[in-house]
Structure 1
Amino acid sequence: MNHIKTLPTLLKGTVVISCLLSLFSVNVAAKEGDLQQELKIAAVSQRADIKNNQIIFNGPVKITQGTININADELRAFSAENGQTKTLVAIGNPATFSQEMDDGRIGTASANEIRYDLATTGLLLTGNAKLDQSGSQVTGNVIRYNIEAQELVAESTGKGEDRVITIIQPENFQTEEKPKQKLPQIPVKKQGNQ
């Protein structure tokens, strides 16, 4: 008998998990073509460490690529010897990331450090990390998000009150309500005049 009572609880849990998955999948489709656009970096100054394949930009720094915008106090751009891996590390208080989604909404992220790997389209948000889509949010100490694959992992330090917090706005998980079925009416015989 206990298994019957737990079914509604399991169904509610499944609905919540489905909502969480849809929160960062359906609405977070990155703007088509952003990653094929030129990458522009505007800064107050820059210096190159050619030996280590690194350029350091001092800010404020603004990076744009299509509808992607990154703002930081400092930016470090790294390139591997083979040129295959290109990474941007934005540092700020906080550094911010935003991108227009296919549906026209803007997705934002912020953290003390944002690491953006151009080859894998991965974002690594470290320190006071926050990801926001249509008012729904995920916060934690570290958030990993792959823009192209639409995969998200959030972690906390696990110390004290530090936890991963997820806030889902009602419009992101409400489903259409099915009309209530009317019970069949049973004819009632009147007594008296028949």
Structure 2
Amino acid sequence: MNHDPIHAPRPSLRGWLISLGIAALVSTGPVAARPDDSEQPILIEADEVEVLESERTSIYVGQVQVDQGSMQLRGDHVTVHHREDRRPRLIIALGAPASFRQLMDDNEGEVLAFARRMEYDADKDELTLIDEALLIQGADRLTGERIVYDRARAHFRAGGGGRVQITITPDEATEP
């Protein structure tokens, strides 16, 4: 039995997504992504790759996995737009769903994200989840049609073409 949360079946989001344009701004607190992840080398695996040097773009197709430090991105189709120095500027992942996982700083667990489309903007250090988006941190869950996750500050906002649902689980109280 597969206990990997990236590949675990997830519940249908249809019941959570009711049509209403609403936006929410939520902060998860001081928990942030590991700062050294962005300094690590990037490893990309796929069934096929096409590199368009003149356009500074590479296209990966088939069971694509992108690893950098504790960060992992998976999708069926991933396009990477590069800077002149070959570092990624924009990564677009498509899947049914595409998935993201990253360990948090100070052993605070991990962030998991799922969506049909994910866009990672390296300049802003933001991951945008589009279409049936789900963001999980610990026992807290956020669903919506569009979620923008600021990895460096562990902030997110959600809204767009559907209702946003947030489940916040309080920390267990400790007795003095």
> Would the TM-score normalized by the shorter structure come out above 0.5?
yes
Q: 1 CA distance for matches of 2:47 and 2:74?
A: 13
Count of aligned pairs: 151
Letter of the 2:158 counterpart: A
Q: Which runs of 5+ in 1 are unaligned?
A: 1-19, 180-194
Residue 29 of structure 1: how far off its partner (Å)? 1.5
Mapped contact 2:51–2:59 kept (Cα < 8 A): yes
Residues 99-136 of structure 1: per-residue CA shift (max 9 Å, x gap): 01123311101111111122321101111111100021
Highest RCO, 1 vs 2 (Cα 8 Å, sep ≥ 6) = 2
Q: Structure 2 stretches of 5 or more lacking a match?
A: 1-25
| 1:34 is aligned to 2:7 | no
Higher helix share: 1
1:55 to 45, 50, 58: 58
Asked if structure 2 preserves the Cα contact closer than 8 Å seen for 1:122 and 1:145, the reply is: yes
Q: Distance in 1 between matches of 2:103 and 2:83?
A: 29
8 A Cα contact 2:94 2:116, kept in partner: yes
Letter in 1 for 2:95: G
Percent identity between the aligned chains? 29
Superposed counterparts of 1:71-82, under 5 Å: 71-80=74-83
In the alignment, does 2:148 pair up with 1:170?
A: no
What is the RMSD computed on CA atoms of the aligned residues?
2.4
Give, in angstroms, the shift of residue 145 of structure 1. Answer: 1.1
> Counterpart of 2:105 in 1: which secondary structure?
coil
Which residue, 106, 109, 112 being the options, matches 1:108? 112
Q: How does 1:77-156 map to 2 (within 5 A)?
A: 77-80=80-83, 86-104=89-107, 105-156=109-160
The structure whose Rg is larger is 1
Q: Which has the higher strand share?
A: 2
Assess if the C-alpha contact under 8 Å between 1:72 and 1:90 holds in 2.
Answer: yes
1:94 Cα offset (Å): 0.4
1:16 corresponding residue in structure 2: none
